[in-house]
Amino acid sequence: MFTQQLVNGLMLGSVYALIGIGYTLVFGVLRMLNLAHAYIFTSAPFITFALIGASVSPMLALFLGVVGAAFLGVLLYLVAFKPIPPEHALGGFVASLSFGIIIQVVIVNFYGSQPKKFPTILNLPDFNLGNVILSGVQIGSLCISASLMIGLLYLIKSTRFGRNIRAIAQNQMAASLLGVAVPAAVLLVFFMSSALAGLAGLMVAMRFESIGAFMGDMYAIKALAIIIIGGLGDVRGAVFAGLLLGVCEVMFQAYAPPGWSEAFIWLFLIGVFLVRPEGIFGVGIKTREI
């Protein structure tokens, strides 16, 4: 039973982590929060759903769902973030939020506001280990998420591109002077972060076999909290905090009195802040100097 919860928690946590990595990467290079992220998460399963409906092969539809989300992210950057100067972070919030709302309205107008059944694409068997039932989709998602997270951490830490992103996150002007192609890097970051969000959305869709125009809302606000806890700008933070909090949420739901599972994430966040204001792995924003 505990193992079951642990696996469920890791699954939830890896979804949060993938979404959180996207937020954190964008924040690192732009110093703005992308409030359309949750809607890009939602758009991928619908793109896949639409393609399957148009008789596209399911595997190709999955791939195109992720790619579609990625390009949507690039469009978002070009329309909502690029035109806004960095000192107007609030403008970026509102612009991205509006973009996200437009995406949601489009989905609602074509598919309605109720959840729809997402077709079973991969007929993976369940694994029975004693009284623990692990769905094949769950295991597959965990494997993919794990490899992605490891891959991304490696990318950020050891590749040139990763160094570029970190350089931009630390000091954009200096990075640009030192030869980093900032605009291209930022575009690529948006592409990657949106692809991750799209992938997370598809994993959720396949796990629960359900998609809805409002499915992103519940993940969005939690993922936001999680990356703050992990520290904005740091991928390790998003991964760590995401997994930790996913597991905690499930544990609280299982063992704590009702209402606490909703409250704990906020309490934890405030607690972390009082102790370590920049978040666990935070970089980039200093604490108050006065």
Considering only residues 9 to 38 of the shown chain, the ones binding another protein according to CB under 8 A are 11-12, 27, 31, 33, 35
Sequence-ordered list of residues with C-beta below 8 angstroms from that of 3, at least 6 positions apart, any chain? 129, 132
Q: Please tell me whether residue 279 binds another protein under the rule CB under 8 A.
A: yes
| Binding segment toward another protein, per CB under 8 A, in 63-71, 143-151, 194-202, 278-286 | 278-286
Quick one: 135 or 153, whose CB is closer to another protein? 135
Instruction: Tell the smallest beta-carbon distance from residue 212 to another protein (Å).
Output: 7
Rg, Å, the chain Cα set: 19
> What does DSSP assign to residue 54?
T
How far is Cα of residue 188 from the mean position of the Cα atoms in its chain? 16
Residues in 139-168 that interact with another protein by CB under 8 A: none
Write phi, then psi, for 285 (nearest 5 degrees).
-110, 125
| Binding segment toward another protein, per CB under 8 A, in 62-70, 169-177, 190-198, 236-244 | 169-177
Site string for another protein, 56-95 (x = CB under 8 A): -----------------------xx--xxxxxxxxxxxxx
Is there a contact between 229 and 280 (Cβ–Cβ < 8 Å)? yes
**Burial class, 114, CB count within 10 angstroms (exposed 0-12 / middle 13-18 / buried 19+):** exposed
Residue 30 to residues 80, 92, 157, 165, 183: CA-CA distances in angstroms?
Answer: 12, 10, 19, 10, 11
Q: Please tell me whether residue 188 binds another protein under the rule CB under 8 A.
A: no
Instruction: Tell the smallest beta-carbon distance from residue 243 to another protein (Å).
Output: 15
By CB under 8 A, name the one of 57, 112, 147, 157 that touches another protein. Answer: 112
Q: Please tell me whether residue 184 binds another protein under the rule CB under 8 A.
A: no
By CB under 8 A, name the one of 122, 174, 178, 184 that touches another protein. Answer: 174
By CB under 8 A, name the one of 6, 75, 106, 124 that touches another protein. Answer: 106
Residue written as token pair 């369940």: 126
Distance CA 235, CA 242 (A): 10
